[in-house]
């Protein structure tokens, strides 16, 4: 039995948010930095596993979607600050 279709819905949202920020040139484009930000962001958010994204979106209210988008925005913004701070701390001590 394969489970290839199962994934955490928040992964898509975090990556989409990072891509939006990249397009607006708000963040560093270093792949390692982006991976760290994605990991820190996802660790701040609950897991929400789905088989198909559309299944979840179909059953959510507009308020729920807006709340989730806000939580993702908050998590990504905080993760960028965290990773930036710790990257600079590491550079200063290493």
Q: What is the pLDDT of residues 24-77, one digit of tens each?
A: 876 667 889 899 999 999 999 999 988 887 777 778 899 999 999 999 999 999
* Residues 27-52 as b or e (16 or more Cβ within 10 Å = b): beeeeeebebbbebbbebbeeeebee
* Domain segments of the chain as ranges: 7-93
On the 0-12 / 13-18 / 19+ scale of CB atoms within 10 A, 25 is exposed
What is the value of pTM for the model shown?
0.82
- 92 has pLDDT over 90: no
- Who's near 29: CB < 8 A, 6+ residues apart? 22
């Amino acid at each position: 039995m394969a489970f290839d279709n199962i994934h955490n819905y928040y992964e898509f949202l975090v990556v989409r948010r990072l891509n939006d920020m990249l397009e607006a040139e708000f963040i560093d484009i270093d792949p390692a930095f982006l991976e760290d930000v994605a990991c820190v962001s996802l660790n701040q958010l609950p897991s929400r596993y789905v088989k198909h994204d559309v299944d979840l979106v179909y059953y959510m209210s507009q308020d729920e979607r807006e709340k989730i988008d806000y939580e993702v925005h908050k998590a990504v913004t905080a993760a960028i600050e965290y990773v930036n701070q710790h990257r600079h701390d590491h550079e200063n001590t290493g």
